[in-house]
Amino acid sequence: MRPKVLILRTAGTNCDYETEYAFRLAGAETALVHINHLITARANLDEFHILALPGGFSYGDDVSAGILLANEIKYKLGDLLRDFVNSGKLIIGICNGFQVLVRAGLLPGLNSNIAQEATLAMNTSAKFECRWVHLETQKSPCAFTHGLKWRLYLPVAHAEGRFTAPSQILDQLESNRQVVFRYASRYGGIPSYPDNPNGSDLQIAGICDPTGRIFGMMPHPERFLTRLNHPRWTRDSLPEKGDGLGIFRNAVAYVQQNFS
């Protein structure tokens, strides 16, 4: 069985083709679908197993990053997405997609009323950050990260990537093990800038909902699928597979195990 992935796009999306390639490399079938096709029922979300919200600058990140697409999803597709999630299927949001999931209230998903509980604020550097970072994989229920190695190397590219939330929300994320990735220092200890490129609370780089089936992260796994994507691929001896590929393979494996 080849899982079917719907890659959602709209004006300003610019990582859709890379995300499509990542899922195809992992063994899935893919379709690039404009949000208007879901809203007008020209595309049927029920036919898919995974919904992917890729990176970019949806609607030019007007007002704040991802908020216009988040509102479209929340108010025009809310019931559709609730049914999708309740049927045991997967959602992933990368960079702008993560911002959308948080602002739509789908992450961290502690409130059943789908209210926004956290945000992704302006980087503490007050500028766009485009660099490679180290991540530490945390113990979590996330379906996308089962069996990943404990340390990954992936690129970030964002201006509003600082995950922040009230202390009680952060406490719940910790107690529920919903933190999936944290930024890691190159030299040990608590990472400071630039290892934590945006100043996120608790060094959070990615989280999941309590079920582990909705997942969002700021770094871009679709940009490191093979050794050729690595910035030192001509100088270092590297494995053929990049650190990001495992995330997409895990999603495919989950669907194959649960929907065959």
Q: Is the peptide bond before 108 cis (omega within 30 degrees of 0)?
A: yes
Is-catalytic flag, 220?
yes
Strands 179-184 and 129-137: antiparallel
Four-residue CA torsion sign, 157, 153, 232, 245: negative
Nearest Cα neighbor of 146 from 21, 258, 232 is 258
**CA 64 – CA 217 distance, rounded (Å):** 17
The residue annotated as part of the active site, out of 20, 49, 222, 230, is 222
Q: Which residue has the tokens 């690039």?
A: 32
How many CB atoms are closer than 10 A to CB 12? Answer: 16
The residue annotated as part of the active site, out of 49, 134, 158, 220, is 220
Assess contact for 142 and 180: CB atoms under 8 A: yes
Assess contact for 130 and 151: CB atoms under 8 A: no
Is-catalytic flag, 95?
yes
The residue annotated as part of the active site, out of 95, 129, 158, 160, is 95
Is-catalytic flag, 34?
no
Q: Which residue has the tokens 């079920």?
A: 211
Amino acid at 227: R
Residues forming the active site: 95, 220, 222
